[in-house]
Amino acid sequence: MLLYMHRIIHPQPFSSYRKAYRKMIKKSLSFLAKWAVIFLIASMLSFILVRFMPVSPVKHWLSSYNLPYTPENIAYITKKMNLDKPLSVQYFSWMWNFIRGDWGYSLKSHLNIRQTFIRKLPYSVSIGIFGILISAPCAFFIGYRASMHQNGFLDHFSAILSVLTQSVPSFIISIVIIYFFSVRLKLVKFFTGNSFWALLTAIVLTALYNIGGLSRVVKKSFREEMGKSYVRFSVSRGFAPEKVLLHHASRPVICRLIATVIANFAGIFGGSTVLEYAFAIPGISYFLGSSMKNSDYTVLQTYILVVVIWMFFVHLVLNLILEILDVRRKSQ
């Protein structure tokens, strides 16, 4: 209250707000410039690296139709796939069309890449996002209780879960679930029934594989906050340690948890690959797997750029949340 009255009686000069505004603009421009450079570098690397694949899409196409590798056939298919132009022309043409929303067609299946991604990405994204949204609150609660009761049940549970999820691949757990619930008990039809159960199981497994590691991060963060002076001072005045940690030390812990979750968001697309194959979920992994098998340049390089754009928005939203939490912390 005294701090609030002091701000009313002694308001900050206009120059301080102008400096804060300039700092915010400078920070935003720096963020956008950094990601523009990342996007440019990623586009060039993806365009170049996919062309170092052992077998070209032309040879894959000829092999699929049992056609000989004659110079005439190679030249005809290369021209048909628009791969006969110089690499610089192909790159700038692809980038210009990508920015305009035209992501081209698959070299092998001739499917519209943008439409295919829009149709298949929701499956992969929902597995990753809902898995993280479920695991983060659970990990916060488990880590908080584990920090308060070391060597307790939740402390041992989080440690065992972390070790198991790092040592046992998710496809083994998927096979056990499919065999037990679908083959033996016949409760769920993962492949011939409603895909809802397959998607739900994949989300639960994704959350389970995130909870162990995230809960250990939360526990370690709370233990570090317990050693700080403001926590020890509040506890010495008679406040319960549980309430001090939850109400006063939780914000820096949440910031660290969000910073860790940012890295998990990067693996949303690739992280669901095994589960999509295990439960026959029609996500982007099926399309991407066949594209890698056929050296489909257009699909692979577009996929990499989509991941970069996804990570841009992830960093934008989560950094905004971190900034809000940090501002609230400074204002107290």
**Extents of the domains making up the chain:** 113-331
Burial class for 83, CB neighbours closer than 10 Å (0-12, 13-18, 19+): middle
Structure token pair of residue 319: 């950094």
State the chain's mean pLDDT as an integer: 81
DSSP 8-state symbol, 184: I
pLDDT in tens, 98-149: 988 888 888 877 888 899 888 888 888 888 889 888 999 999 999 998 888 8
Whether the CB-CB separation of 113 and 299 falls below 8 Å is answered with: yes
| Mean predicted confidence (pLDDT) in 29-51 | 88
For residues 322 and 299, which has the higher predicted lDDT (pLDDT)?
299
Structure token pair of residue 171: 């496809």
Tell me the CA end-to-end span of the chain in Å, nearest whole number. Answer: 11
pLDDT in tens, 149-158: 888 888 889 8
Number of helices and strands (H, E) in the chain? 16, 0
DSSP 8-state symbol, 111: -
Q: Would you state the pLDDT for residue 41?
A: 92
- Indicate if the pLDDT at residue 229 is higher than 60: yes
Confidence (pTM): 0.76
Give the closest residue to 15 by CA, choosing from 7, 23, 26: 23
C-alpha torsion sign, points 9, 13, 17, 19: negative
Give the closest residue to 261 by CA, choosing from 161, 164, 135, 163: 135
**Residue written as tokens 């030390």?**
249
Q: Would you state the pLDDT for residue 194?
A: 62
Amino acid at 30: S
pLDDT in tens, 244-296: 888 778 888 888 888 888 777 767 766 677 888 888 888 887 778 778 888 88
Q: What angle do CA 322, 327, 328 make, to 5 degrees?
A: 100
The CATH classification number of 113-331 equals 1.10.3720.10
**Residue written as tokens 């939780």?**
250
Task: Calculate what percentage of the chain has a pLDDT beyond 70.
Answer: 89
DSSP 8-state symbol, 13: P
